[in-house]
Every structure is written in structure tokens, then in C-alpha cells.
Amino acid sequence: MCMMIMKRSIPEAFRGSMTENESAKGFLEEIEQYFAKNEKSEASNLLSNLVSMKYKGKGNIREYIMEMSNLASKLKSLKLELSEDLLVHLVLISLPVHFGQFKVSYNTQKDKWSLNELISHCVQEEERQARDRTESAHLASSSQNKIKKRARDVAEKSSQQKKPKMQTEGFPCYFCKKTGHMKKECPKYAVWREKKGELLTLVCSEVNLDFVPMDTWWVDSGATTHISVSLQGCLWSRPPSKNEKFIYVGDGNKVAVEAIGTFKLQLKTGCHLDLFETFVVPSFRRNLISVPCLDKSGYSCSFGDNKFSLSQNSVLIGTGPLIDNLYMLDVISSHNEILQTSSRGTKRKFNENSATLWHKRLGHISKQRIQMLVSDGILEPLDLADFEVCIECIKGKRTNIKKLGANRAQDVLELIHTNICGPFPTASWNGHKYFITFIDDYSRYGYLFLINEKSQSLDVFKSFKAEVELQLGKKIKAVRSDRGGEYYGRYDGSGEQRPGPFALYLKECGIVPQYTMPGTPSMNGVAERRNRTLKDMVRSMLSHSSIPESLWGEALKTAVYILNRVPSKVVTKTPYELWTGKKPSIRHLHIWGCPAEARPYKPHEGKLDSKTVSCYFVGYPQYSRGYKFYNPTSRSFFETGNARFLEDIEFWGEGNIRNVVFEEEQVIDSDQVIIPITSPDIVMEQDNNEIPPPVPPVEQNQHPQEVPLRRSTRERRSAIPDDYVVFLQEHEDGIGLMEDDPINLAQAMRSSNSEQWNSAMKEEMKSMYDNDVWDVVECPEGVVPVGNKWIFKTKRDSKGKIERFRSRLVAQGFTQKEGIDYKETFSPVSAKDSFRTIMALVAHFDLELHQMDVKTAFLNGDIDETIYMVQPQNFVVGDPKKMVCKLKKSIYGLKQASRQWYHKFHKVISSYGFETNLVDDCVYHKFSGSKFIFLVLYVDDILLASSDIGLLHETKKLLTKNFEMKDLGDASFVLGIEILRNRSRGILKLSQKSYIDNVLSRFNMKDCNPANTPVAKGDKFSLAQCPTNNLERAEMQKIPYSSAIGSLMYAQVCTRPDIAFIVGVLGRYSKDPGMDHWKAVKRVMRYLKRTRDYMLTYQRSDSLEVIGYSDSDFAGCQDSMRSTFGYIFMLAGGAISWRSAKQRLIAPSTMAAEFIACYEASDHGLWLRNFVTGLRVVNNIERPLKIYCDNNAAVLYSNNNRSSTKSKFIDIKYLVVKERVQNGQISIEHIRTESMLADPLTKGLPPTAFYEHTAHMGVILDDTLV
């Protein structure tokens, strides 16, 4: 039995080699001899491992020394004993450089240490160094003599140590230079940190400060940021902020920061390294690259064998040697240095036999194809050793299919493959959106045509056929294509596909058509694969250049030109040689998109004119010997053979390599049969022979277990839907986050305020736990949980100073499906008109005005649906792939969250006697005798306006009783609007000065020249000013036009009716703006620069009455000939509501345009009247609402029943104005044009008239207001 068990427990191969034994004991002894180790060999290996061990500073040093001790114990068991002294020395030798002081202390303090003592001292030293790394800055800002003196002093101090353990008396304080304490215990350092707490502290390791070239870059593991000694090589820069102007180093010295910018380094490997947020410090002597910053950017660094390696995603990016105990990165040069050198005419040396250079010249073809060109003698022998990873190829190429063989044609024109690709999301510069290819099966020689529509396929085929048949003297025998309507024909009414023009033409010419079967594009694999190869090349070529994407057509033509001259695996020679019988020449090829200095033909060139034009190389002329160039200044093309190509210059923008996106199509390889496989993350070359394993098929009859929420079949959307709501209370300083706010968790954790953000996140999670928002459960099968993210916001006061840091956990509600995850949505947001009306009443009645904030308001709402959510980052319990949060209450980001919160709030506040307004559900009022209080709700912000302070505090108490509230006291800053009051004079003003400053700063208009008016009188805008071609359109896409319009729109909506007209007009062109439109936007910003201190003012008046003004221009829109109407309503001396918009129909006369404006004004005026009526504090609201109009004909038509020829074309719905006048609801009265307040809402005015009108609107400057 024992024999049988042993035989079955060993591998069959070993079992067969064993001799037969009758006893189990003999069999066991034979096995023992069989596996007996060679003690000499094992001892040699163990000793080699022990001697070669190096501690790299990672992990636990105690465990590292114990590991060495374990190896020594194993050697002892093999009769090779090492003394404890020798083992101690081996450990000390293996320690890294930063233990140098520790080794000195060992040599000077004690003759002999035990291993246990060594472990204790090493642990203490490692802990000390860890503390010092976070608190000290070892920056070598002194001379070399000072460094040597410091080292000598340390050695002398250490030699005086009498105790066996490490002590602090032997080391000087890095701050005050006195001994007896460390820097963290230094009282002077504590005082200095308290004074300079807001200033940035830089941590760098100590370096040798001998003279080094300014263009060298040194890797520093102790630096917390990148450092450059000059702006040389800087792509772009910005001035340092208040907290970035100085760097305080470890010795207390203050170092000035000149600028902060982005540097792009060209590495000798052929790759590039972007250094963002690099501090320019002229007083430094070396350019430093921070290892921690590289790590945060996704790079990995490795050190060893006196060299340094930099990798990204396991791909080698750069290397460098160890020089003077520092690693120097091998850099060719920085971007601007190359640019400046080339502009001076200095010729740089680069390797003409570089495989990487020819890889780019040949449109990013594979390494195998380059080797074939060398083998055929078309290219001279190349240095293939420098063929490194091409980032542009990684961006542009992917492989996800597998191919099998197919039959080949035996001669040219026997079989032509064709296919159409498109439409492309970006039209070419001349409007093309498709391209069609024709590929000869025998030679793989290809033709390409750019087309506007698929119906042009027959026309281009006729041109192709005529050319190739005449040139080759042979006839096309067969054409293979898919069964698309452009090739085979369209379906008729009976559902049958009838032959179309293309098919009939082939039949007429005797050409045999070969069509793919429906749904099997793999049968046309050659054309499908060629199109995919072309798109891959174009992506890589565009990614490598800074040329507009609208030039993809030129890149396509160049890609076809290159493919016809390079070999592939399916043909023995190049397509050009098989097609023409001649070997191609490729020595004239250059990198597509590279900068060039070309000399075009200028028949009238002046003697002092520049000989060359700075341009980009974009291709090879079809019928000429030369090159084609694109001039970005004139946005035109020209051809010439006289040019200098600057292929060693990379013209990059401020961002990283571009992602060029074409349409997503099924990818087919060149030969017939398809087997779907898993797509790797990064494919190095398009001809890679390694095929990943196939994906196991999914059983069709498998169904996931039924669960409350099915999400596995939800559709994926490419963009956030229109109904996704971003609440304004998250952006109280205006539209969007402040520029200094982190946009994700990683950015927050590496920012200077990481501790504050971390505390804010913990506070948010505490609110989640306190409110019992979710339970952590195992994710049911088939459920795809809703995602979430952290939103970071600095809450600022009216002066822009930070009040507190807030982190908000927000669910990604845009992934929810209606009817499954939610049923209804609603956001409790009061209208801006309501807010301003309340402010006018506060000024008139001198009401108490306070503000409160509901903490985590949405957590108060209960949800009816079952929703699972991913666990928040940094707060994960258990396995994040299995455990999810099952929501019990709503949180920010869910589509129904705001609605559930409003229901909860409404239920609570109504129970205390508050009633909603008739027309605004987010405005409440309550009366108690003669006392009253208004409550305005804006999501989680609450304004309280009351005639009695006691009633106000009573309301605060009941709110605090039911919700977690923050009492902000007197209202001073609400929704990005500053509230200023002078109660003795009965004045209240609304200001957006801080918001306007942020807008100006965001769009680099802070130092612009002020303008008198937002728009000049007589300025007209139209579609004729929009871009006329794709090149102009590409230039405009670089301008943040829509963002600027949105930012101006928020100011206009809140407090600035003076810019309503021009912002509305310019907003009409947001889809396709032109340069004239952008200049008009900047004029509005220049006007805001002039009037940033202007405020919307309300004041106590003798009579409280809502009065409206209505106006219209006539056919002011140049594109539609429609008129622009405007109205404004006044209360307590200031505007409470206004609007400027284009009318819905074309008015045939000025009377009709004015009458339509009266209709729009009366509609909104009645809403205002109902709102004020619901407040029950205005006595004379029962009188007809006055609306002033400056057109006599419109006033007369509104007030009587007579008709005229001018009124025949007015839509019947607008006649309701006459009915409202007759019923006494409104009163249309005439006013002189000079007194028409709505005039600036319909047209541009001269400065004098404009300021007079805006002053009457209440938009004024009052320096006396405190």
C-alpha cells in the first residue's frame, strides 16, 4: 500500500526511471538519492546571493537584514560558517548611498557591533530619514567647500560619540546649524514655519553644484517638483501665484520662482517627455526632474548598474547614466532650443540611417517592411537597433482579428478590390467626407479618390479604369466589392435589390462583378484591410504633427503613395515594381507634417522679401516632381521642389499627442476568414504575428438570475445627455469650478491642499454614515452598479478668499436609465426673477435678510427605486469587485436626488404653516399677524427675509430641528452674487465683481483695454462672418467661444441687463463662430472690465409698483430678417426681470414687430404680477400692469378694435394683448424713445444714451455705499 501511494504521488516521467524495489523503504531511499543536492553547488549559489544583495530602500530594513542572516544560517548548515563581524560588514556594504552618515558613525564610534545592535540602529536610522524627508530640504545652494566643511564637521562630531547607539548630538540642525537637536525639534524652525506656512516648500536631494551645461536634466528622487534654471525650452509658461512666488529650502534661504511652465524634452530614444508645472528658478545650477512627479504622471523609474531607466506602461521611454552620484537623463534637446537653432540656420546633426527616422518618413510602417526594403536594396542598410516604440503608432493602430489564407490573382488587373470608407466626423479641407480605394489583387498597387457622396463611386471608377487600362495595355477582368447600394444597387418597393448604375456599367464592359454575401465583409478582406491600414497610418501621421485634422485627405494620399512603394508580407516585391516593372526610389521621402522652409514661385518677389515661407510638408504632387506644402498663415497650398525639411523639429501644442478619431467600423483583415479575438491594450506594429487567444463563446441560452435592477443591457452613450443637471450650488463662484480646484481624486491628493481635501472627504463620508445612506452588500449577478466620483470645491467669500474646502461624493447619474433607476426628475431652483423681486422688497421694507445652508441636503431624500453604486475611492470595504453600495437614500448626482430632497423639504416646511407661491414652488411665505417671512430655496441654499427678527429666529430653529443646517448669518454672498446694503438709506445692491474678475482671468482678458459699450452702434453680425472653409473652422475650434458665451450669459442672467442684447446675438453663432464674432465677445469682456464695479441697485421708494418697458428693432437679424424684441420690468428703482431675444416670425412692419414685443412683455408681466400678488405685501397690485411702448401705431392697435393693413399679417395668438387691455389686466402706454429703458436690449447705442438708459435700469456705480 505504501509503495503504491508513493508511486502515484510522483510524476510518471520520474516513476519510469526508477528501478523496481520490493520494499517501500528501498524505494524511498532511491528517491532521496535521486533528488540529493550538490552541497558545493548550493553553498556557492547561497554565497553569491548573499554577497550580491543590495537594499534598495523599499520594504522593511529589519526583514532585509533577517533575510541576509537566514542565508548565513543556511551556509552554516552546509559547513560554511560566516562570522558575525563579517555578516555585519556585508550588511553595511549592501546599504544604499543615503546610509553614508550611518556607515561613518559605525567606523568612528565603535569597533564592533552585534547583528541585533545593527538591526536596531538601522531601523532607527531609516525612521529618522523618513521623518527628515518630509520635513527637511537638503538643497545644495552653497559652494562645494561649504559642503565639504559640513561633511567634515559631521564626521568630527560623530567621532566624539561615546555611546554605542546613534544619537542626535553628532549632527547639526539643518535650520539653525546648532548641534544637540534635529530640525523638527528646532524652535527657530517652528517659528519660521508658522510665519511662512502658506508658502511653498521644495524638497530636493543634495547635489554637486559644479558647473554643468544648462541643457542637461538630472533625475532627483528627493525633489517634489521639476526645476528648470531658465525658460529655454519652455513651451508655455505662466506667472507664479501668490503661494508659488518663493521656495524656502531647508537652510532657511528664500529662492525666487520666475515662472511655472511646461517643458517638452526630446529623449535620445526617440520619445518625448512632458514636464508639466515646472518651476523656473534661475538661482539653481541644475535642471532637476522630480521622481515623485514622474511617478504621479504614470511613469516608473528604475535604478541600477550605474544607470537609470524611465518607462511608461512597461515601455522604455528614456535612459541615463550615473554621473557625480546623480543620474543624468539622456536628452537630445528641448523644443524651443531646436526651433531657435533652426531659425538661425545652424544645421543639426541627426542620423540619416536611423530606422526611427525612416519609420516616420514612410508613414509609420512596420519594422518588417523596413527590413524588406533594405533586403531589396531600395534602402541603404539602417541601424535597426534604434527602432524603439513609436507612441504615435500606439495611438493610431490596434489589431483585433486573425486571418487565414486566400487565392491570389496571377497578373495585374485580373481582380480589383474596392471599398468606400466614411463618413469622417471632420470633413476634409475641400468638403470631402468619404474616400474610395481600388487595389489590384496581384500587385497590391492601390488608387485612392476623395469623394463627397457614395454615389460618385461610378464616376471615379470610370476615371480609374480609363487610366490603368491605357497605361498597362490590359483590361480589368473582375471587380470585388460589398453589396452596398453604390455597387450592387438599391432596394425597390418589393424588397428586392435591383442592379444599379455601377453594376450595369460592369455588365456593359464585360467585367465580372464579385459581391460579398450579406453581412460578410470578410469576403472583401483586401479592400477592408487596406482601408484600415490607411486609417491607422493617417491617425499616426496626424498625431505626430500639429496640422489641422481637416487635412486628413492629404495624409491619406501620402499614405497610399507610401504603401505603393513599400513591400508587404503578401507580395514578394513592392507594389510599384510589380505594377510598373521598375524599382521605386524612396530617398526623396520625408516625414509627413514636418515643418519646412520652402521657396515658392513668386514672379513679383521684392528684393527685400523673405526667400522662404514657413510651412508644413503635406504630400507629393500626383503629376509633378516636387513636394506639396501647407501655409498655415495664408491657409493655402503650394508646390515646389526647393525646400529645406526640418524633420528633427517636433511642433507640439500645449497638450499631449492628439487622439485622432475616425468612424468606428468592423475591422477586416486582408484575406477572407475572420476569427474574433481579444484586443490587446497596445499593439506595437500592425504586422504582429503573435495572436492573442480567442475569446470563449458565450452560450446563447444562459440568462442571469433575476434581480431587482437589471442593467446589463443598457445602451452606452458617447456624451452626457442634455438632461444631465449640474447644480449651481456646486459652483457658487460662477459657471464651472475654479481653475485651482482639483478635477479628480489623484490631482487633489498631490495638490498643496491635500490634507484639507482629505479631511473634507472624511467629513463627507461621516455625513453618509450618519444619515445611513447605504448598506455595503454583495453585487447581484447581472447588475452593473452606478459609478461615482469626488468633486472638489473651494468655498470662497465675496472677495475671493477661501472659506472652506468641500468634497462632494457625486453619483454618475448620467448612466441611469429612465423607468429603471428613476421615474421623474425635478430640481428645486427658484427663478432669478423671484430672487431679484425679493431683494427689491427687502430694500423697500427694510427686511431682515439671513442665509442658511443645508448640509448634505440630498441625503435627506428617500428613494423608491433599488440602486447599486460602486464604493467610493479611498473608502472601500472588502473586495471592490464584489461589494457595492445599496442606496437607501438619494445622493448628489442621481437624477431623482433633487426631486426627493424637495419633497422632503416641502413636507417639513408646510407642516409649520409655510405656503408656496402661486407661480414659483421654491418661494414660501408665512404670515403671523402683521409679521411675515419669505423663504427662497435654491437647492440647498436658503434665503430668509422677514419683517420680524423673532419670527426669523423661530424659522431658523425649526429648520435646524429637522435638518443639519449651517447658519451663515446676514446674507452677503449668494449664488456667486454679492449683496451689499445701506439700511439707513434703504439701498440694496447686487454685485458680480468677483465673478467678472474670474471670467476675465480665465480668458486672459484681465489686462485688456476697457471699452465704452458692449457693442458699437450699427454693428451687425451674420452667418457670412462664419468660417468659409474647414481650415478656418479648425482655427476657430481652438478658441473657447462657447465657454466665453456661457460665462457671459451667467452674468447677464443674474445682474447685468446691459449686456443681454449682445450676448444673445453672439450666442446664435456658437455652433460655427467666426473671428468677427470672437472679437465681439472680447469687446463685451472689455466693457465688463470697465464696469466691473457696477451693481444692480434697489432702493426704498414712495410707491411700490411693477412697471414694464417693451421695445423691438425691425428685421435686425441679417440671416433670417427677423426682429429682436426686448423687455424689462422695474420695481423699487431697479430691474427685476429682462429679456432680449429674436422673434419667432418675420414681422412685416415696425408696428407688427413692436406689437409682438408687447405680447412677449405682457406674458411675462402677468407672471410677475401673479408672483407679487402671491407674496401679499404690495397693496396696489390690483391696478392694471403698465407696459410702456415707443411705437404709436402699436399702442393704438392695442387699445382699440380697429384694424389696419399693417395688422393683417399678425398671428392670431398675439391678439390676446388687446383682450388683456380690455379686461384691465395690462395697460399699454406710449413713451418717448429717449425714455425707453428697453432700447439697449434691442440694438447698440452711442455711449451717452447707453449709460443713461442703464443708469435708469439701476445698473450704477455708487462709491458711497458701504
Whether residue 1059 contacts residue 1014, with contact meaning beta carbons closer than 8 Å, is answered with yes
Measuring CA to CA, which residue among 204, 203, 171, 176 is closest to residue 190? Answer: 176
Q: How many CB atoms lie within 10 A of CB 857?
A: 26
Cell 493617417 found at: 538
Measuring CA to CA, which residue among 1118, 1119, 1220, 1205 is closest to residue 1169? Answer: 1220
Whether a cis peptide bond, with omega within 30° of 0, leads into 1057 is no
Query: CB-based burial of residue 775 (10 Å sphere; 0-12 exposed, 13-18 middle, 19+ buried)?
Result: exposed
Query: CB-based burial of residue 511 (10 Å sphere; 0-12 exposed, 13-18 middle, 19+ buried)?
Result: middle
Whether residue 423 contacts residue 663, with contact meaning beta carbons closer than 8 Å, is answered with yes
Partnered with residue 322 across adjacent β-strands are: 327
C-alpha cell at 1258: 439701476
The secondary structure of residue 152, as a DSSP letter, is H
DSSP 328-375: EE-EEEEHHHHHHHHHTTPPPP--TTBHHHHHHHTTS--HHHHHHHHH
User: SS3 of 69, please?
Assistant: helix
| Nearest-5° Cα angle at 1035, 1030 to 1038 | 130
| Strand-strand pairing, 1185-1189 and 1107-1112 | parallel
The secondary structure of residue 179, as a DSSP letter, is B
Cell 514612410 found at: 362
1239 catalytic? Reply is no
User: SS3 of 755, please?
Assistant: helix
User: DSSP strand E in 1143-1254: where?
Assistant: 1185-1189, 1226-1230
* Helical axes 993-1002 vs 1075-1090, angle rounded to 10°: 140
* Candidate list 111, 132, 153, 220, residue with the active-site label: 220
Tell me the Ramachandran region of residue 121: left when phi exceeds 0, alpha when psi lies from -120 to 50, beta otherwise.
alpha
DSSP 441-465: TTT--EEEEEESSGGGHHHHHHHHH
Q: Phi/psi at 785 (nearest 5 deg)?
A: -70, 155
Whether residue 395 contacts residue 401, with contact meaning beta carbons closer than 8 Å, is answered with no
C-alpha 782/C-alpha 769 separation (Å) is 27
Query: CB-based burial of residue 1263 (10 Å sphere; 0-12 exposed, 13-18 middle, 19+ buried)?
Result: exposed
Whether residue 1113 contacts residue 1094, with contact meaning beta carbons closer than 8 Å, is answered with no
C-alpha cell at 393: 503608432
Whether residue 734 contacts residue 999, with contact meaning beta carbons closer than 8 Å, is answered with yes
Measuring CA to CA, which residue among 968, 1074, 980, 1071 is closest to residue 1021? Answer: 1074
* Helical axes 457-472 vs 501-509, angle rounded to 10°: 20
Measuring CA to CA, which residue among 141, 319, 349, 328 is closest to residue 216? Answer: 328
Whether residue 447 contacts residue 438, with contact meaning beta carbons closer than 8 Å, is answered with yes
User: SS3 of 419, please?
Assistant: strand
The secondary structure of residue 693, as a DSSP letter, is P
Q: Which active-site residues does the annotation give?
A: 220
